[in-house]
Amino acid sequence: MKQQLVFKALADGTRRDILRVLRSGSKSAGELSEEFSITKASLSHHLALLLSAELVRRERRGQQLIYSLNSSVAEEVMAILFGLFSHKEDS
Amino acid sequence: MKQQLVFKALADGTRRDILRVLRSGSKSAGELSEEFSITKASLSHHLALLLSAELVRRERRGQQLIYSLNSSVAEEVMAILFGLFSHKEDS
DNA sequence: TAGATATTTAGACTATTATCTAAATATCTA
DNA sequence: TAGATATTTAGATAATAGTCTAAATATCTA
């Protein structure tokens, strides 16, 4: 996991919102775009960043590209946060 | 806690490094600056962002300003990540 | 209180990022 | 295969962010 990519990806509110929307189930790019007031092109840009951070997965279903959460990376992020904030002598 | 401030603060590698350095104990701005190759002014800028996100605390000791971790915010961040990545029907 | 030390603030510059429109690519179906 | 649909990519633009130097502020001490 590339730490810098993950934290940059999480830094944007729209991208965090995308993750929240995907909590209720996988969605195509088009379905996702209905939830946001930005253009499909901008949304695609955000999805590309989430993908490169491996926070979401993508698979093609016919003409559609379906996006879904990749929860395993969340666990890694939390492990890093534990590392950032736990005092050294504590553990 | 202001989510946007926290995630923006964590998005920069230097700031994450500052948090890591502070794991081994509180440090003054000057002591911190010895660990980094940027100017004191730039470091001060990063510390201001970490402060505004409440990821660190600051107290004055004479001429020095001492910075230390604020671990409780880390727990909040992790709770948010759980929220972002856990599937809705799971819980 | 004057000078030294510690740190921040102000202002400028450059790089990165979020957004848009227009064009390109991929897939399906008649 | 032509046209329609779904999505991404390219290129441009405006806002944001990281860094620097120089100046300002706060505290200590002789």
Rounded distance between C-alpha atoms, residue B69 and residue B21, angstroms: 10
Long-range contact set of residues B4-9: C-beta below 8 Å, sequence gap at least 24:
B4/A13, B5/B49, B5/B52, B5/B53, B5/B54, B6/B53, B6/B54, B6/B55, B6/B73, B6/B76, B6/B77, B7/A7, B7/A10, B7/A11, B7/A16, B8/A11, B8/B49, B8/B53, B9/B49, B9/B50, B9/B52, B9/B53, B9/B55
Question: In a structure prediction context, what are the per-residue pLDDT tens digits for chain B, which is 91 residues long?
Answer: 889 999 999 999 999 999 999 999 999 999 999 999 999 999 999 999 999 999 999 999 999 999 999 988 888 888 888 888 888 766 5
Find the Å distance, CA of residue B34 to C1' of nucleotide D30: 29
Find the Å distance, CA of residue A6 to C1' of nucleotide D20: 28
CATH number for the segment(s) B3-85: 1.10.10.10
Domain residue spans in chain A?
3-85
Q: What percent of chain B has pLDDT over 90?
A: 75
Provide the pairing of β-strand A27-28 with A64-69: antiparallel
Task: Compute, in degrees rounded to 10, the torsion defined by CA atoms B80, B59, B14, B72.
Answer: -20
Q: Give the pLDDT confidence score for residue B32 in this predicted structure.
A: 98
Q: Are B84 and A24 inside 8 Å of each other by CB?
A: no
A64 touches strand C (CB under 7 A): no
Question: In a structure prediction context, what are the per-residue pLDDT tens digits for chain A, which is 91 residues long?
Answer: 889 999 999 999 999 999 999 999 999 999 999 999 999 999 999 999 999 999 999 999 999 999 999 988 888 888 888 888 888 766 5
